[in-house]
Amino acid sequence: MAESTIITGQFVRISQVPASIGERILARFIDYVILICYVWSTIYVFSAIKLFDHSSDLTMGIIVIVFYLPVICYSLLWEMFNNGQSPGKKIVNIRVVKSDGTAPTFSGYLLRWLLYNIDVTFTGGLGVIIIIITKNNQRLGDLAAGTMVIKEKNYKKIQVNLDEFKYLTKDYRPVFPQAADLSLEQINVITRTLEMRTSERSKHIKQLADKIRQLLSIQSNSNDEAMLNTLIRDYQFYALEII
């Protein structure tokens, strides 16, 4: 499955890979196993204490609502309160997000949950077909809610403020391709070091430059400060090349 990469309105770059249909089915199967275990365990407990024999219809109705409403709303409650992951999704390492990479709203979770019956129960698995033929493996509920299920390990957020890149010209060519392997946190360390205004600034710059040369196997004759500044510009270039 090809990676889906977008830039949000807040200039957050999201690199994400849609979960495969196999992963989604496995996650759903795990959730069903959990639900079955829950239902059977509650029935066993109720039978053991002979609750059904000593309860009025009203009491039984309340008990059923309290104990079995979570079963009906299982995926909705878990995804809404656990950042897009049911236990099955957590185990399989997938997550529900909006198509722009942000967290879904309550209405989004609710809509995809309501349409699950149309996707699976009432149509005999139409959602499976829709997942197969759509680009981002989305079922009808996802398409209607503007959500998708992605692989958690491929979910990366890199904040990019375009104002910081205004000095990069259209014909800019990166010097160090290794800059693409740096993380945003590492770039922040370099930036803070270059912005130091203490007597030990030169010492820290040299130490950091030596460490980066070793880490990235960089061979450069430029001075330490110039190399670090170039790395920052190269990182910015790679961060924005998809726009």
pLDDT of residue 135: 84
Q: Which of 209, 199, 198, 200 is nearest to 232 (CA)?
A: 209
CA 193 vs CA 162, 175, 181, 200: distances in Å: 22, 21, 19, 10
pLDDT of residue 239: 75
The partner residues of 14 in beta bridges, in order of sequence, read 6, 157
**Contacting residues for 113 by C-beta, under 8 A, at least 6 apart:** 73, 75, 76, 79, 141
Mean predicted confidence (pLDDT) in 73-98: 93
Q: Tell me the C-alpha distance between 135 and 147, whole Å.
A: 13
Q: Tell me the C-alpha distance between 128 and 69, whole Å.
A: 26
Coil/strand/helix, residue 134: coil
Q: pLDDT tens digits, residue range 134-180?
A: 888 999 999 999 999 998 765 544 444 444 555 567 778 888 998 88
| Averaged pLDDT of the chain | 82
Better pLDDT: 212 or 152 = 212
Please check the confidence at residue 11 and state whether its pLDDT lies above 50: no
Amino acid, single-letter form, for residue 71: V
Q: With 0-12 CB in 10 A as exposed, 13-18 as middle and 19+ as buried, what is 91? A: middle
Q: pLDDT tens digits, residue range 32-85?
A: 999 999 989 988 887 887 766 666 677 777 777 878 888 999 999 999 999 899
- Among 11-15, 46-50, 182-186, 213-217, the range scoring the smallest mean pLDDT is 11-15
Whether pTM > 0.75 for this model: the answer is: no
The partner residues of 6 in beta bridges, in order of sequence, read 14
Mean predicted confidence (pLDDT) in 209-220: 88
Q: Tell me the C-alpha distance between 214 and 16, whole Å.
A: 30
